[in-house]
Amino acid sequence: MLIKKNSEVPWSEITPRWLYLNRRKFLTGVFGLTAGALAGQTLRELAWPTQKVQAAKLSVAAKSPFSTTEQVTPYDDVTHYNNFYEFGTGKEDPAMNATRFQTSPWSVKVSGLVDKPRTFSVEELQKLAPLEERIYRHRCVEAWSIVVPWIGYSFSALLKEVSPQPKAKFVAFESYYSPSQMPLGSRAGIELPYIEGLRLDEAMHPLTLLCFGMFGESLPNQDGAPVRMVIPWKYGFKSIKSLVKIKLVEKKPDTTWNLANPVEYGFYSNVNPGVDHPRWSQAKERRLGEFFRRNTLMFNGYDQVASLYTGMDLRKNF
């Protein structure tokens, strides 16, 4: 995501990801063995400390029929090229700065227009429905994309547990925010805590994932531990990380990026190659690790959501 005053072109275009990655691999390969072995630590770890936080294995009941068969993006790339503004605005910042983030104990409060409001511990949440592995395409508004084997279940399972009332039309989400644990948050250029929202029918769609892990393990801190949303047909910024509050509401809720820059970031933010970002095209994307850009697909290729938007002008409702 970009704050206009800082830059006029996407980060992905300033330092193409493949170039950045190859530079890292080159440095690691050439120097990691010699200087690193001497120091008892690889250069790669010095320059880009790898997350050392303990990850728990998550057993998955089933692979999901919603999974793509496309090649999964390497773990190292998925976990070292992140947007998590609470831990810095650079792509490598979250991996470096979130290592000591306290994610246990953790609870998520579900409130608002529901018959059974409740605060769940993350352990309780994980047991609400069988965990599935879902391999989703993940398309960032900055025109890069990844393919990730997430672990979680359809968010609708949680909604059913709290019984939304008929007046509930939207779901508002809020991330954890602690200035002491996230000192860089005050320089993020966006208002924190990070907030997001979905229409209730979008939140109920089976593709909408309540996510606890990736690559067979619990989520790394920089990827939104211990629980986040993943909405694969929307630009990545809708997939809010490190969730602490969920509220069912009647009116369309505010969202972080819509508040920060309403001209550039709408409420819906469906992936749409036909509607450009005011400052760059959305027609193509660079899959991390690939040289050539590929065409971006409407709804990121998840055509099964098209009926949610029947009759809507998706240029106006961008």
260 CB neighbour count, 10 Å cutoff: 17
Q: Which of residues 170-209 bind ligand MTE (CB under 6 A)?
A: 175, 194
What is the DSSP pairing of strand 144-154 with strand 170-175?
Answer: unpaired
CB 197 within 8 A of CB 278: no
Of 112 and 224, nearer to ligand MTE (C-beta) is 224
- Two tokens, residue 46: 């010095």
The least CB distance from residue 156 to ligand MTE, in Å, is: 20
Cα 91 to Cα 80: distance, rounded to the nearest angstrom: 7
- Two tokens, residue 136: 């989703």
Q: Build a one-symbol-per-residue string for 16-55: x at contacts with ligand MTE by CB under 6 A, - elsewhere.
A: ----------------------------------------
203 CB neighbour count, 10 Å cutoff: 24
Cα 64 to Cα 153: distance, rounded to the nearest angstrom: 9
Q: Which of 85, 101, 173, 299 binds ligand MTE (CB under 6 A)?
A: 85
Of 260 and 298, nearer to ligand MTE (C-beta) is 260
The least CB distance from residue 306 to ligand MTE, in Å, is: 23
Q: Which of residues 121-140 bind ligand MTE (CB under 6 A)?
A: 138, 140
Of 205 and 228, nearer to ligand MTE (C-beta) is 228
The least CB distance from residue 24 to ligand MTE, in Å, is: 17
Binding of residue 255 to ligand MTE (CB under 6 A): no
- Within the chain, strands assigned E span 62-63, 107-112, 118-121, 132-139, 144-154, 170-175, 195-199, 209-214, 217-218, 228-230, 243-249, 284-287, 294-295
Please state, in angstroms and as integers, the Cα–Cα distance from residue 65 to each residue in 143, 216, 270, 318, following that order. Answer: 26, 17, 22, 28
The least CB distance from residue 176 to ligand MTE, in Å, is: 8
* Stretch binding ligand MTE (CB under 6 A), from 76-84, 118-126, 160-168, 305-313: 76-84
124 CB neighbour count, 10 Å cutoff: 13
Binding of residue 93 to ligand MTE (CB under 6 A): no
Name the DSSP letter for residue 209: E
Of 208 and 242, nearer to ligand MTE (C-beta) is 242
C-alpha of 198 from chain center: 14
Chain residue at closest Cβ approach to ligand MTE = 236
The least CB distance from residue 28 to ligand MTE, in Å, is: 21
Binding of residue 86 to ligand MTE (CB under 6 A): yes
C-alpha of 36 from chain center: 33
Q: Build a one-symbol-per-residue string for 223-252: x at contacts with ligand MTE by CB under 6 A, - elsewhere.
A: xx-----------xx-xxxx----------
The least CB distance from residue 289 to ligand MTE, in Å, is: 14
Q: Which of residues 140-159 bind ligand MTE (CB under 6 A)?
A: 140
* Stretch binding ligand MTE (CB under 6 A), from 13-21, 63-71, 80-88, 199-207: 80-88
Cα 215 to Cα 86: distance, rounded to the nearest angstrom: 23
- Size of interface with ligand MTE, in residues (CB under 6 A): 18
Q: Which distant-in-sequence residues (6+ apart) come within 8 Å of 38 by Cβ? A: none
Residues that bind ligand MTE (CB under 6 A): 1, 82-86, 138, 140, 175, 194, 223-224, 236-237, 239-242
